[in-house]
Amino acid sequence: MYMPPKPGSKIIIVGGGCFGLSTAFALALKKKYHVVVFDRQPIPSSDAASTDISKCVRYDYGNKLLYMQLTMEAMPHWHQWNKERAEQNESPVFEQTGVLLMGYQGTFGPYEEQSMQAICEAGYGHAIEKLLTPESIIQKYPQFEQTVRNGYDIAYVNKDGGWCNSEEAIKHLYGKCVGEGVDFVVGQDQGCFEDLWLDDNDKGIVKGIVTQDGTHHVADTVLMTTGAWTASLVDVKDQLQATGHVVMHFEPKEPLRQSLASIPAWAADITRTGYYGFPVNADGKLKIAHHFESGYLNPREKDHVSTPRTHVDHANDTIPISAVQHARASLAEIFPATSSMDITYTRTCWYSDSVDGGYLVSPHPSYKNLVIASGDSGHGMKVLPVIGYKICHVIEGIESDYSRAWAWRTTTVPENQGNIGKHKTMGDGQHNDRFATQDELLC
Protein backbone atom coordinates (compact mmCIF):
# COMPACT_ATOMS: atom_id res chain seq x y z
CA MET A 1 0.00 0.00 0.00
CA TYR A 2 1.46 3.33 -1.10
CA MET A 3 2.47 5.82 1.62
CA PRO A 4 2.58 9.49 0.49
CA PRO A 5 5.61 11.50 1.68
CA LYS A 6 5.33 13.52 4.91
CA PRO A 7 6.36 17.19 5.12
CA GLY A 8 10.15 17.37 5.32
CA SER A 9 10.58 14.26 3.14
CA LYS A 10 13.33 13.90 0.59
CA ILE A 11 11.92 13.08 -2.84
CA ILE A 12 14.26 11.77 -5.51
CA ILE A 13 13.10 12.30 -9.08
CA VAL A 14 14.93 10.14 -11.60
CA GLY A 15 14.87 11.78 -15.05
CA GLY A 16 15.01 15.51 -15.68
CA GLY A 17 12.96 15.66 -18.89
CA CYS A 18 9.42 16.89 -19.41
CA PHE A 19 7.61 14.91 -16.68
CA GLY A 20 10.51 15.09 -14.20
CA LEU A 21 11.17 18.83 -14.31
CA SER A 22 7.51 19.71 -14.34
CA THR A 23 7.01 17.63 -11.19
CA ALA A 24 10.15 18.99 -9.53
CA PHE A 25 8.85 22.52 -10.00
CA ALA A 26 5.36 21.70 -8.72
CA LEU A 27 6.79 19.95 -5.64
CA ALA A 28 9.28 22.74 -4.96
CA LEU A 29 6.50 25.33 -4.92
CA LYS A 30 5.00 23.52 -1.94
CA LYS A 31 8.06 24.42 0.15
CA LYS A 32 7.78 21.28 2.23
CA TYR A 33 9.99 18.72 0.52
CA HIS A 34 13.65 18.37 -0.37
CA VAL A 35 13.56 17.65 -4.11
CA VAL A 36 16.57 16.17 -5.89
CA VAL A 37 16.54 15.41 -9.62
CA PHE A 38 18.96 12.84 -11.06
CA ASP A 39 19.72 12.64 -14.77
CA ARG A 40 22.30 10.64 -16.66
CA GLN A 41 23.12 13.69 -18.76
CA PRO A 42 23.30 17.43 -18.20
CA ILE A 43 19.86 18.98 -18.69
CA PRO A 44 18.53 19.19 -21.37
CA SER A 45 19.61 15.60 -21.90
CA SER A 46 20.62 15.38 -25.56
CA ASP A 47 18.56 12.28 -26.41
CA ALA A 48 15.54 12.89 -24.19
CA ALA A 49 12.27 12.91 -26.13
CA SER A 50 11.75 16.42 -24.79
CA THR A 51 14.98 17.75 -26.29
CA ASP A 52 13.95 18.77 -29.78
CA ILE A 53 13.54 21.82 -31.99
CA SER A 54 9.75 21.59 -32.08
CA LYS A 55 6.78 19.72 -30.69
CA CYS A 56 3.17 20.27 -31.59
CA VAL A 57 0.99 22.03 -29.02
CA ARG A 58 -2.66 21.31 -29.73
CA TYR A 59 -5.71 20.66 -27.64
CA ASP A 60 -7.38 18.80 -30.52
CA TYR A 61 -7.69 15.39 -28.93
CA GLY A 62 -10.59 13.65 -30.66
CA ASN A 63 -12.90 12.32 -27.96
CA LYS A 64 -10.18 12.21 -25.30
CA LEU A 65 -11.62 15.03 -23.25
CA LEU A 66 -9.22 14.68 -20.34
CA TYR A 67 -6.20 15.45 -22.54
CA MET A 68 -8.08 18.26 -24.28
CA GLN A 69 -8.78 19.85 -20.89
CA LEU A 70 -5.23 19.32 -19.66
CA THR A 71 -3.79 21.01 -22.75
CA MET A 72 -6.30 23.86 -22.49
CA GLU A 73 -5.03 24.32 -18.92
CA ALA A 74 -1.44 24.43 -20.24
CA MET A 75 -2.08 27.12 -22.86
CA PRO A 76 -2.03 30.22 -20.62
CA HIS A 77 1.19 28.94 -19.04
CA TRP A 78 2.88 28.77 -22.44
CA HIS A 79 1.95 32.40 -23.00
CA GLN A 80 3.12 33.32 -19.50
CA TRP A 81 6.49 31.63 -20.14
CA ASN A 82 6.82 33.67 -23.35
CA LYS A 83 6.28 36.81 -21.27
CA GLU A 84 8.89 35.73 -18.74
CA ARG A 85 11.34 35.13 -21.55
CA ALA A 86 10.58 38.39 -23.30
CA GLU A 87 11.50 40.16 -20.05
CA GLN A 88 14.89 38.42 -20.23
CA ASN A 89 15.30 39.13 -23.96
CA GLU A 90 14.95 35.45 -24.74
CA SER A 91 13.14 33.91 -27.71
CA PRO A 92 9.59 32.61 -27.18
CA VAL A 93 9.18 28.94 -26.27
CA PHE A 94 5.70 28.78 -27.78
CA GLU A 95 4.79 29.88 -31.30
CA GLN A 96 1.06 30.31 -31.86
CA THR A 97 1.08 29.52 -35.57
CA GLY A 98 -2.19 27.62 -35.45
CA VAL A 99 -2.45 23.91 -36.22
CA LEU A 100 -3.80 22.90 -39.62
CA LEU A 101 -5.55 19.53 -39.52
CA MET A 102 -6.30 18.18 -42.97
CA GLY A 103 -8.76 15.51 -43.98
CA TYR A 104 -8.67 13.55 -47.24
CA GLN A 105 -10.85 13.63 -50.34
CA GLY A 106 -13.52 15.82 -48.88
CA THR A 107 -13.85 13.90 -45.63
CA PHE A 108 -12.54 14.45 -42.15
CA GLY A 109 -11.55 11.38 -40.16
CA PRO A 110 -13.24 10.68 -36.81
CA TYR A 111 -10.30 12.30 -34.97
CA GLU A 112 -10.81 15.68 -36.66
CA GLU A 113 -14.62 15.48 -36.44
CA GLN A 114 -14.57 14.57 -32.76
CA SER A 115 -11.95 17.20 -31.98
CA MET A 116 -14.00 19.99 -33.53
CA GLN A 117 -17.11 18.85 -31.71
CA ALA A 118 -15.40 18.54 -28.34
CA ILE A 119 -13.70 21.91 -28.71
CA CYS A 120 -16.96 23.63 -29.61
CA GLU A 121 -18.77 21.96 -26.71
CA ALA A 122 -16.02 23.13 -24.36
CA GLY A 123 -16.72 26.71 -25.45
CA TYR A 124 -13.60 27.16 -27.59
CA GLY A 125 -15.37 27.09 -30.95
CA HIS A 126 -14.03 30.57 -31.75
CA ALA A 127 -10.56 29.02 -32.18
CA ILE A 128 -11.72 26.76 -35.01
CA GLU A 129 -11.73 28.00 -38.58
CA LYS A 130 -13.15 25.47 -41.00
CA LEU A 131 -11.66 25.34 -44.49
CA LEU A 132 -14.16 23.13 -46.25
CA THR A 133 -13.22 23.71 -49.87
CA PRO A 134 -9.89 23.21 -51.64
CA GLU A 135 -9.89 26.90 -52.62
CA SER A 136 -10.31 28.09 -49.04
CA ILE A 137 -7.25 26.12 -47.90
CA ILE A 138 -5.15 27.33 -50.82
CA GLN A 139 -6.24 30.91 -50.29
CA LYS A 140 -5.21 30.86 -46.64
CA TYR A 141 -2.13 28.68 -47.04
CA PRO A 142 -0.87 28.81 -50.66
CA GLN A 143 2.15 26.74 -49.59
CA PHE A 144 -0.20 23.74 -49.36
CA GLU A 145 -1.62 24.09 -52.87
CA GLN A 146 -0.04 20.89 -54.16
CA THR A 147 -1.00 19.01 -50.99
CA VAL A 148 -4.60 20.08 -51.52
CA ARG A 149 -4.50 19.06 -55.19
CA ASN A 150 -3.22 15.65 -54.07
CA GLY A 151 -6.37 15.05 -52.07
CA TYR A 152 -5.86 16.76 -48.70
CA ASP A 153 -8.65 19.11 -49.66
CA ILE A 154 -10.65 19.67 -46.51
CA ALA A 155 -9.23 21.10 -43.31
CA TYR A 156 -9.66 23.14 -40.22
CA VAL A 157 -7.20 25.29 -38.38
CA ASN A 158 -7.15 25.61 -34.62
CA LYS A 159 -5.86 29.13 -34.17
CA ASP A 160 -4.94 28.62 -30.49
CA GLY A 161 -2.43 25.86 -31.29
CA GLY A 162 1.09 25.90 -32.60
CA TRP A 163 4.40 24.46 -31.55
CA CYS A 164 6.90 24.76 -28.76
CA ASN A 165 10.67 24.88 -28.94
CA SER A 166 10.89 21.99 -26.55
CA GLU A 167 14.61 22.15 -25.80
CA GLU A 168 14.31 25.83 -24.88
CA ALA A 169 11.19 25.10 -22.85
CA ILE A 170 13.09 22.48 -20.86
CA LYS A 171 15.91 24.96 -20.25
CA HIS A 172 13.38 27.55 -19.14
CA LEU A 173 11.76 25.18 -16.66
CA TYR A 174 15.16 23.97 -15.45
CA GLY A 175 16.00 27.60 -14.58
CA LYS A 176 12.71 27.93 -12.70
CA CYS A 177 13.43 24.71 -10.77
CA VAL A 178 16.89 25.93 -9.76
CA GLY A 179 15.29 29.20 -8.67
CA GLU A 180 12.89 27.28 -6.41
CA GLY A 181 15.70 25.35 -4.73
CA VAL A 182 15.54 22.00 -6.54
CA ASP A 183 18.87 20.15 -6.36
CA PHE A 184 20.30 18.39 -9.39
CA VAL A 185 22.77 15.52 -9.72
CA VAL A 186 23.63 14.95 -13.38
CA GLY A 187 26.14 12.98 -15.42
CA GLN A 188 26.83 9.45 -16.60
CA ASP A 189 28.31 8.25 -13.29
CA GLN A 190 26.82 10.21 -10.44
CA GLY A 191 23.48 11.07 -12.07
CA CYS A 192 22.68 7.80 -13.79
CA PHE A 193 20.15 5.55 -12.05
CA GLU A 194 21.42 2.01 -11.84
CA ASP A 195 18.92 0.36 -9.54
CA LEU A 196 16.43 0.78 -6.75
CA TRP A 197 17.92 0.46 -3.27
CA LEU A 198 15.54 -1.82 -1.39
CA ASP A 199 15.18 -2.42 2.32
CA ASP A 200 16.80 -5.75 3.22
CA ASN A 201 13.96 -6.63 5.59
CA ASP A 202 11.07 -5.50 3.41
CA LYS A 203 11.56 -5.56 -0.35
CA GLY A 204 8.40 -3.47 -0.68
CA ILE A 205 10.19 -0.45 0.77
CA VAL A 206 12.49 1.61 -1.42
CA LYS A 207 15.31 3.09 0.66
CA GLY A 208 16.56 5.19 -2.25
CA ILE A 209 18.47 4.68 -5.47
CA VAL A 210 21.88 3.41 -6.49
CA THR A 211 23.67 5.39 -9.19
CA GLN A 212 26.15 4.06 -11.71
CA ASP A 213 29.14 5.15 -9.60
CA GLY A 214 27.88 2.81 -6.86
CA THR A 215 26.68 5.58 -4.53
CA HIS A 216 23.55 4.89 -2.51
CA HIS A 217 21.22 7.89 -2.21
CA VAL A 218 18.61 7.75 0.49
CA ALA A 219 15.05 8.99 -0.22
CA ASP A 220 11.62 8.87 1.39
CA THR A 221 9.91 8.69 -1.99
CA VAL A 222 11.32 7.90 -5.44
CA LEU A 223 9.64 9.10 -8.63
CA MET A 224 10.67 7.55 -11.93
CA THR A 225 10.25 9.99 -14.82
CA THR A 226 12.71 8.30 -17.13
CA GLY A 227 10.54 8.48 -20.24
CA ALA A 228 11.18 5.72 -22.77
CA TRP A 229 13.95 4.29 -20.55
CA THR A 230 11.50 3.48 -17.74
CA ALA A 231 10.62 -0.07 -18.81
CA SER A 232 14.30 -0.99 -18.97
CA LEU A 233 15.08 0.45 -15.50
CA VAL A 234 12.30 -0.90 -13.30
CA ASP A 235 9.94 -3.82 -13.71
CA VAL A 236 6.75 -2.16 -14.91
CA LYS A 237 5.10 -5.48 -15.66
CA ASP A 238 4.38 -4.88 -19.35
CA GLN A 239 2.59 -1.59 -18.71
CA LEU A 240 5.13 0.34 -20.80
CA GLN A 241 7.27 -0.22 -23.85
CA ALA A 242 9.88 1.97 -25.58
CA THR A 243 8.99 2.52 -29.23
CA GLY A 244 11.04 4.52 -31.73
CA HIS A 245 9.49 7.04 -34.13
CA VAL A 246 11.32 8.83 -36.90
CA VAL A 247 12.01 12.51 -37.39
CA MET A 248 13.51 14.13 -40.50
CA HIS A 249 14.80 17.60 -41.23
CA PHE A 250 15.06 19.30 -44.60
CA GLU A 251 16.72 22.63 -45.32
CA PRO A 252 14.81 24.41 -48.09
CA LYS A 253 16.59 27.12 -50.02
CA GLU A 254 15.25 30.61 -50.59
CA PRO A 255 12.64 31.66 -51.54
CA LEU A 256 10.98 28.46 -50.30
CA ARG A 257 12.66 28.75 -46.93
CA GLN A 258 10.97 32.03 -46.17
CA SER A 259 7.66 30.90 -47.57
CA LEU A 260 7.63 27.74 -45.44
CA ALA A 261 8.54 29.73 -42.34
CA SER A 262 5.01 31.11 -42.21
CA ILE A 263 3.01 27.89 -42.42
CA PRO A 264 1.20 26.55 -39.35
CA ALA A 265 2.06 23.30 -37.62
CA TRP A 266 0.15 20.72 -39.67
CA ALA A 267 -1.03 17.15 -39.83
CA ALA A 268 -2.20 15.35 -42.96
CA ASP A 269 -5.13 13.03 -42.19
CA ILE A 270 -3.00 12.02 -39.23
CA THR A 271 -4.85 8.89 -38.19
CA ARG A 272 -4.38 7.36 -41.64
CA THR A 273 -0.96 8.71 -42.70
CA GLY A 274 0.79 9.55 -39.42
CA TYR A 275 2.65 12.49 -41.02
CA TYR A 276 2.85 15.92 -39.42
CA GLY A 277 5.24 18.83 -39.55
CA PHE A 278 6.25 22.32 -38.62
CA PRO A 279 7.20 25.60 -40.24
CA VAL A 280 10.84 26.25 -41.10
CA ASN A 281 12.47 27.45 -37.89
CA ALA A 282 14.93 30.31 -37.37
CA ASP A 283 17.82 27.96 -38.25
CA GLY A 284 16.25 27.10 -41.60
CA LYS A 285 15.16 23.59 -40.56
CA LEU A 286 11.94 22.06 -41.79
CA LYS A 287 10.94 19.21 -39.50
CA ILE A 288 8.56 16.42 -40.53
CA ALA A 289 7.83 13.41 -38.36
CA HIS A 290 5.88 10.20 -38.60
CA HIS A 291 3.66 9.06 -35.78
CA PHE A 292 2.71 5.55 -36.77
CA GLU A 293 0.75 3.22 -34.64
CA SER A 294 3.44 0.84 -33.49
CA GLY A 295 6.90 2.34 -33.94
CA TYR A 296 10.21 0.47 -33.87
CA LEU A 297 11.49 -1.72 -31.07
CA ASN A 298 15.05 -2.22 -29.90
CA PRO A 299 14.93 -5.30 -27.65
CA ARG A 300 17.99 -5.71 -25.45
CA GLU A 301 19.64 -9.09 -25.36
CA LYS A 302 19.19 -10.14 -21.74
CA ASP A 303 15.40 -9.92 -21.49
CA HIS A 304 14.11 -8.50 -24.82
CA VAL A 305 12.86 -5.35 -23.14
CA SER A 306 12.86 -2.58 -25.76
CA THR A 307 15.43 0.09 -24.85
CA PRO A 308 15.97 3.44 -26.58
CA ARG A 309 18.77 3.30 -29.12
CA THR A 310 20.05 6.84 -29.61
CA HIS A 311 23.01 8.84 -30.86
CA VAL A 312 24.52 8.79 -27.36
CA ASP A 313 25.69 5.19 -27.88
CA HIS A 314 25.27 4.98 -31.68
CA ALA A 315 26.53 8.23 -33.11
CA ASN A 316 26.34 7.02 -36.72
CA ASP A 317 22.76 5.78 -36.71
CA THR A 318 20.40 7.24 -39.26
CA ILE A 319 16.83 5.94 -39.40
CA PRO A 320 15.65 2.58 -40.78
CA ILE A 321 15.63 2.42 -44.58
CA SER A 322 11.98 1.35 -44.51
CA ALA A 323 11.14 4.65 -42.80
CA VAL A 324 13.01 6.65 -45.45
CA GLN A 325 11.28 4.81 -48.28
CA HIS A 326 7.88 5.22 -46.66
CA ALA A 327 8.47 8.92 -46.03
CA ARG A 328 9.67 9.63 -49.55
CA ALA A 329 6.64 7.89 -51.07
CA SER A 330 4.15 9.50 -48.67
CA LEU A 331 5.62 13.00 -48.70
CA ALA A 332 5.61 13.04 -52.51
CA GLU A 333 1.83 13.43 -52.02
CA ILE A 334 1.62 15.14 -48.66
CA PHE A 335 4.49 17.63 -48.89
CA PRO A 336 5.78 17.40 -52.48
CA ALA A 337 8.31 20.21 -52.02
CA THR A 338 10.47 17.76 -50.02
CA SER A 339 10.91 15.47 -53.05
CA SER A 340 13.67 17.72 -54.35
CA MET A 341 15.35 18.14 -50.96
CA ASP A 342 17.95 16.06 -49.16
CA ILE A 343 17.09 14.74 -45.73
CA THR A 344 19.71 16.66 -43.77
CA TYR A 345 19.12 15.20 -40.32
CA THR A 346 17.42 12.12 -38.94
CA ARG A 347 16.57 10.94 -35.50
CA THR A 348 14.67 8.16 -33.87
CA CYS A 349 12.84 9.64 -30.92
CA TRP A 350 11.48 7.27 -28.30
CA TYR A 351 8.01 7.16 -26.80
CA SER A 352 7.19 5.41 -23.58
CA ASP A 353 4.11 3.70 -24.94
CA SER A 354 1.44 2.52 -22.53
CA VAL A 355 -1.01 -0.26 -23.30
CA ASP A 356 -3.76 2.20 -24.24
CA GLY A 357 -1.94 5.36 -25.29
CA GLY A 358 -2.73 7.15 -22.00
CA TYR A 359 -0.14 8.29 -19.44
CA LEU A 360 0.83 6.03 -16.56
CA VAL A 361 1.15 8.08 -13.37
CA SER A 362 0.76 5.80 -10.41
CA PRO A 363 2.31 4.35 -7.31
CA HIS A 364 4.06 1.14 -8.32
CA PRO A 365 1.91 -1.66 -6.87
CA SER A 366 4.95 -3.61 -5.61
CA TYR A 367 6.35 -0.82 -3.42
CA LYS A 368 5.19 1.50 -0.63
CA ASN A 369 7.06 4.58 -1.82
CA LEU A 370 7.81 4.33 -5.54
CA VAL A 371 5.80 6.33 -8.10
CA ILE A 372 6.01 5.92 -11.88
CA ALA A 373 5.18 8.89 -14.12
CA SER A 374 5.69 7.85 -17.70
CA GLY A 375 3.69 6.33 -20.57
CA ASP A 376 3.68 9.61 -22.45
CA SER A 377 2.84 7.62 -25.60
CA GLY A 378 4.21 10.40 -27.77
CA HIS A 379 2.02 13.27 -26.60
CA GLY A 380 3.39 14.68 -23.37
CA MET A 381 5.37 17.76 -24.33
CA LYS A 382 2.45 20.10 -24.85
CA VAL A 383 1.48 19.77 -21.20
CA LEU A 384 4.96 20.47 -19.82
CA PRO A 385 3.82 23.51 -17.80
CA VAL A 386 1.04 21.62 -15.96
CA ILE A 387 1.65 17.87 -15.96
CA GLY A 388 3.81 18.23 -12.84
CA TYR A 389 0.90 19.53 -10.75
CA LYS A 390 -1.11 16.42 -11.63
CA ILE A 391 1.84 14.10 -10.92
CA CYS A 392 2.30 15.92 -7.62
CA HIS A 393 -1.28 15.02 -6.66
CA VAL A 394 -0.56 11.36 -7.30
CA ILE A 395 2.60 11.55 -5.17
CA GLU A 396 0.59 13.15 -2.36
CA GLY A 397 -2.21 10.60 -2.67
CA ILE A 398 -4.82 13.12 -3.84
CA GLU A 399 -7.40 11.54 -6.16
CA SER A 400 -8.59 13.30 -9.30
CA ASP A 401 -9.93 12.45 -12.74
CA TYR A 402 -6.30 12.41 -13.85
CA SER A 403 -5.08 10.05 -11.15
CA ARG A 404 -7.94 7.67 -11.93
CA ALA A 405 -7.29 7.76 -15.70
CA TRP A 406 -3.54 7.27 -15.28
CA ALA A 407 -3.69 4.61 -12.57
CA TRP A 408 -1.93 1.26 -12.90
CA ARG A 409 -3.89 -0.59 -15.58
CA THR A 410 -5.67 -3.76 -14.60
CA THR A 411 -6.57 -4.79 -18.13
CA THR A 412 -4.23 -5.84 -20.87
CA VAL A 413 -4.74 -5.08 -24.52
CA PRO A 414 -5.81 -8.06 -26.66
CA GLU A 415 -3.12 -9.17 -29.07
CA ASN A 416 -2.82 -7.03 -32.19
CA GLN A 417 -4.83 -4.18 -30.70
CA GLY A 418 -3.42 -1.03 -29.21
CA ASN A 419 0.19 -0.05 -29.64
CA ILE A 420 1.93 -2.85 -27.84
CA GLY A 421 2.32 -5.92 -30.00
CA LYS A 422 2.83 -4.99 -33.65
CA HIS A 423 6.27 -3.63 -34.30
CA LYS A 424 9.28 -3.64 -36.49
CA THR A 425 12.66 -4.19 -34.90
CA MET A 426 15.15 -1.56 -35.88
CA GLY A 427 18.61 -1.98 -37.25
CA ASP A 428 18.65 -5.78 -37.32
CA GLY A 429 19.50 -5.81 -41.02
CA GLN A 430 16.51 -8.03 -41.73
CA HIS A 431 13.05 -7.20 -43.01
CA ASN A 432 14.46 -4.17 -44.80
CA ASP A 433 15.00 -2.40 -41.48
CA ARG A 434 18.70 -1.70 -41.63
CA PHE A 435 19.71 1.91 -41.17
CA ALA A 436 19.73 4.06 -44.30
CA THR A 437 23.11 5.13 -45.63
CA GLN A 438 23.90 8.84 -45.90
CA ASP A 439 23.53 8.54 -49.69
CA GLU A 440 20.04 7.13 -49.30
CA LEU A 441 18.98 10.30 -47.49
CA LEU A 442 19.74 12.43 -50.52
CA CYS A 443 16.97 13.29 -52.95
Ligand X SMILES: Cc1cc2nc3c(=O)[nH]c(=O)nc-3n(C[C@H](O)[C@H](O)[C@H](O)COP(=O)(O)OP(=O)(O)OC[C@H]3O[C@@H](n4cnc5c(N)ncnc54)[C@H](O)[C@@H]3O)c2cc1C
| Residue in 11, 12, 13, 14 binding ligand X, rule: CB under 6 A | 14
Q: Could you tell me how many helices (H) and strands (E) the chain has, helices first?
A: 12, 22
| Residue in 70, 102, 349, 426 binding ligand X, rule: CB under 6 A | 349
Taking the least distance from each CB to ligand X, the nearer of 306 and 352 is 352
| Residue in 13, 24, 26, 55 binding ligand X, rule: CB under 6 A | 55
Q: Does 56 bind ligand X (CB under 6 A)?
A: yes
Q: How far apart, in Å, are the Cα atoms of 215 and each of 130, 185, 212, 271, 315? A: 58, 12, 7, 46, 29
Q: b or e along 33-58 (b: 16 or more beta carbons within 10 Å of the residue's beta carbon)?
A: bbbbbbbbbebbbebbbbbbbbbbbb
What is the three-class DSSP state of 395? helix
The interface mask with ligand X, positions 277-296, x = CB under 6 A, is ------------x-------
Minimum separation from the CB atom of position 7 to ligand X (A): 26
Provide the CB-side half-sphere exposure for 391 (13 A, CA).
34
What is the three-class DSSP state of 243? strand
Q: Does 48 bind ligand X (CB under 6 A)?
A: yes
The interface mask with ligand X, positions 235-274, x = CB under 6 A, is ----------x-x---------------------------
User: Which of 219-227, 333-341, 409-417, 420-428 is the region at the interface with ligand X (rule: CB under 6 A)?
Assistant: 219-227
Report how many residues bind ligand X under the rule CB under 6 A: 40
Q: Does 323 bind ligand X (CB under 6 A)?
A: no
User: Which of 140-148, 254-262, 318-326, 349-357 is the region at the interface with ligand X (rule: CB under 6 A)?
Assistant: 349-357
Q: Does 68 bind ligand X (CB under 6 A)?
A: no
Q: What is the largest CA-CA distance in the chain?
A: 71
Residue 164 near residue 384 (C-beta atoms within 8 A): yes
Q: Does 97 bind ligand X (CB under 6 A)?
A: no
Exposed, middle or buried: residue 190 (CB in 10 Å: 0-12, 13-18, 19+)? Answer: middle
Q: Which of 368, 374, 443 is nearest to 408 (CA)?
A: 374
Q: Does 420 bind ligand X (CB under 6 A)?
A: no
Q: Does 374 bind ligand X (CB under 6 A)?
A: yes
What is the three-class DSSP state of 320? strand
Q: From CA 334, how far away is CA 144, in angstroms rounded?
A: 9
Q: Show contacts with ligand X in window 132-191 (CB under 6 A).
A: 191
Q: From CA 248, how far away is CA 137, in angstroms rounded?
A: 25
Provide the CB-side half-sphere exposure for 131 (13 A, CA).
26
What is the three-class DSSP state of 246? strand
Minimum separation from the CB atom of position 1 to ligand X (A): 26
Q: Does 193 bind ligand X (CB under 6 A)?
A: yes
Q: From CA 443, how far away is CA 428, in angstroms rounded?
A: 25
Q: Show contacts with ligand X in window 380-409 (CB under 6 A).
A: 380-382
User: Which of 84-92, 132-140, 343-351, 399-407 is the region at the interface with ligand X (rule: CB under 6 A)?
Assistant: 343-351
Minimum separation from the CB atom of position 170 to ligand X (A): 8
| Residue in 279, 378, 385, 427 binding ligand X, rule: CB under 6 A | 378
| Residue in 11, 12, 13, 18 binding ligand X, rule: CB under 6 A | 18
User: Which of 14-22, 97-105, 297-305, 362-370 is the region at the interface with ligand X (rule: CB under 6 A)?
Assistant: 14-22
Taking the least distance from each CB to ligand X, the nearer of 138 and 359 is 359
Q: From CA 219, how far away is CA 432, in angstroms rounded?
A: 46
Binding-site ranges for ligand X (CB under 6 A): 14-20, 38-41, 45, 48-50, 55-56, 191-193, 225-229, 233, 245, 247, 289, 349-352, 374, 376, 378-382
